[in-house]
Amino acid sequence: MGIRDFFVKQVVKHGAKDLPKDQQAMLSAAVEKNPELFSKIAKEIEALKKSGKPEMYASLDVMKKYQKELQELFKA
């Protein structure tokens, strides 16, 4: 596992701490399937936040952009 993968897993773990355990497991499995996607999402959210957009809106905008890819990951 690379440093980036470790970082992505940590972000998901800490960002998802309020989710039920089964949803945390599902999210972790999705990150393992496509860590590059989640890394890209995290970077884009950070860029929007740095430009002044509130985190919630930045997250929603980026998640909408990658909606199809995320839906595919969570099908199983």
Domain spans, the chain: 3-74
Per-residue confidence (pLDDT) for residue 24, from 0 to 100: 72
DSSP 20: -
Three-state SS letters, the chain: CCHHHHHHHHHHHHHCCCCCHHHHHHHHHHHHHCHHHHHHHHHHHHHHHHCCCCHHHHHHHHHHHCHHHHHHHHCC
Tell me, rounded to whole angstroms, the distance of Cα 31 from its chain centroid: 7
Per-residue confidence (pLDDT) for residue 12, from 0 to 100: 61
pTM summary value: 0.72
Per-residue confidence (pLDDT) for residue 28, from 0 to 100: 78
Per-residue confidence (pLDDT) for residue 19, from 0 to 100: 66
58 neighbors 45 (Cβ within 8 angstroms)? yes
Which residues in the chain land under pLDDT 50? none
